[in-house]
């Protein structure tokens, strides 16, 4: 997503990896994020559900818009209880 690069994030596409691997690897302000890109009505497939539930790192975020992607990298865990 170009919007992520515009705010200074490093973005690597992983979508070709398959096997439930999230679509994007994003680095922003010293943190690493895994983002799964879906349409408004898109659903996780079985492999994705399995990986999301077993992943031991930072939660994999499902994003459906550019705004979702920005929110995913800009809001810390502490911020999520407020306006994020």
Report the alpha-carbon angle 35-62-38, nearest 5.
95
Domain CATH code at residue 57: 3.40.1350.10
- Let me know if residue 27 belongs to a domain: yes
Total domain count, the chain: 1
The answer to whether the CB of 5 falls within 8 A of the CB of 26 is no
Confidence category of residue 1, pLDDT binned at 50, 70, 90: confident
In angstroms, the Cα distances linking 13 to 10, 28, 77 are: 10, 15, 24
Give the tens place of pLDDT for each residue, 5-49: 999 999 999 999 999 999 999 999 999 999 999 999 999 999 999
Specify the pTM.
0.88
Question: Could you give the CA distance from residue 71 to residue 3 in angstroms, rounded to a whole number?
Answer: 11
In terms of Cα–Cα distance, which of 71, 72, 65, 70 is closest to 41? 65
* Residue-wise pLDDT tens digits, 51-63: 999 999 999 999 9
Domain that holds residue 41: 2-78
Residue 84 lies in a domain: no
């Amino acid at each position: 997503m170009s919007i992520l690069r515009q705010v200074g994030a490093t973005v690597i596409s992983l979508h070709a990896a398959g096997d439930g691997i999230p679509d994007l690897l994003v680095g922003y302000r010293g943190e690493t994020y895994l983002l799964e890109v879906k349409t408004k009505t898109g659903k996780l497939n079985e492999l994705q559900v399995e990986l999301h539930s077993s992943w031991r790192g930072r939660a994999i975020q499902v994003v459906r818009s550019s705004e979702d992607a920005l929110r995913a990298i800009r809001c810390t865990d502490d911020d999520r209880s407020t306006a994020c």
